[in-house]
Amino acid sequence: MGSILRIILQRLALGVLTLIIVSLVIFAAVNALPGSFATAILGQAATPEAVAAMEQTLGLDKPAVTRYFSWLFAAVQGDFGTSLSQANFASFAGSVADTGVTVADTLAPRFRNTLFLAGLTALIAVPVAVTLGVLAALYRNSAFDRATNIFTLSSISSPEFFMAYVLILFLAVLNPWLPSLSNISDDMTLGERVRTSMLPALTLTLIVTAHMMRMTRAAIINLLASPYIEMARLKGMSPFRVIVKHALPNALAPIVNVIALNLAYLITGVVVIEVVFVYPGIGQLFVDSVKTRDIPVVQACCLIFAAAYILLNLLADVLSIISNPRLRHPK
């Protein structure tokens, strides 16, 4: 138990260090974006004096190092600043934080919507992928196995927006079963939210299922040549029972790892899907904030994406260590 705790603490420390480095990259990249928010607010005809006054109000006149550490220390405390695109710039007097909407208030409902979409996708994709992987391993080299591999490889090889438009064509235009736009709101019931979010969830399911299905299939096939599997077969157990009872539990380490990595993708890779379906999630907010040069919101979105990806990768790493004794006790 002590060795597992030590490994987890080491992974946590490495994750925190990685997040700090990523935050530095995010800050540098966002501040290197062309254009100025002050100029975007005041217009191209603004005088240099007006632009300088606006930048002073926004704190953009301070050195980059000072602004980075101020932003980082505030972000650690959960304060991402004020959304500049929603602030009141009627006058330059006073603090923007007193007249605007905080970034946390802007992000909270959008992040809940993204988590709902990711959770709905996971509920569909994980059971489907594991089931297809088990069946493909059970009927290896059969027509079912070949058809499943062709379908999943085709879905993962296609661009996300292409898959989205194909589903819109068949499930919303030719057969109006589901809404083509996923504009959910807080006053919807759970059933309405599920139905409205089903098309983007199905699109994400087609994308992430291939990874999980192929890893499940490969992990089980790799174990089928093991001596204990041969012994189970010699005892007269059915092939399905051999796979489910003996092979699948011992193949959990790589399967859990790939599932956690795909869950990370469901949170960080939904930008294109949310834009296509006009889904009010954090990905849509990120794109809108880049258009309006809302620097605090862009930085917060990037930091949340990075933190979610690092955290879920850390979870995948820890689960792999816990489920594999050889990793818990390395020689």
pLDDT digits (tens, 9 = 90+) for 59-81: 777 777 888 888 888 888 878 87
C-alpha 298/C-alpha 291 separation (Å) is 10
Q: Is the predicted pLDDT of residue 294 greater than 50, yes or no?
A: yes
b (16+ CB within 10 A) / e for 158-183: eebeebbeebbeebbeeeeebbbebe
* Residue 200 pLDDT: 92
Is the Cβ–Cβ distance between 273 and 203 less than 8 Å? yes
pLDDT band at 317, cuts 50/70/90? confident
Query: Higher-confidence residue: 156 or 330?
Result: 156
- Per-residue pLDDT tens over the stretch 173-200: 888 888 888 888 888 888 889 999 999 9
Q: Is the predicted pLDDT of residue 2 greater than 70, yes or no?
A: no
Q: Are strands 82-83 and 101-102 parallel, antiparallel or unpaired?
A: antiparallel
| Average pLDDT rounded to a whole number, residues 207-220 | 84
* Burial (Cβ within 10 Å: 0-12, 13-18, ≥19) of residue 89: middle
Helix pair angle (103-138, 143-157), 10° resolution:
160
* Residue 92 pLDDT: 45
Q: Which CATH number fits domain 104-328: 1.10.1060.10, 3.30.465.10, 1.25.40.10, 1.10.3720.10?
A: 1.10.3720.10
CA distances in angstroms from 285 to 23, 51, 110, 280, listed in the order given: 19, 26, 7, 7
- Per-residue pLDDT tens over the stretch 86-102: 654 444 444 444 456 78
Range from 107-111, 154-158, 173-177, 277-281 carrying the lowest mean pLDDT: 154-158
| Average pLDDT rounded to a whole number, residues 150-158 | 83
pTM: 0.81
Q: Which SS3 state, helix, strand or coil, does residue 82 take?
A: strand
b (16+ CB within 10 A) / e for 280-304: bbbbbbbeebeebbbbbbbbbbbbb
Query: Higher-confidence residue: 83 or 324?
Result: 83
- Locus of tokens 């695109």: 85
* Residue 90 pLDDT: 45
* Burial (Cβ within 10 Å: 0-12, 13-18, ≥19) of residue 6: exposed
Centre a 10 Å sphere on the Cβ of residue 200 and count the other Cβ atoms it contains. 24
| Domain chopping of the chain, boundaries | 2-85, 104-328
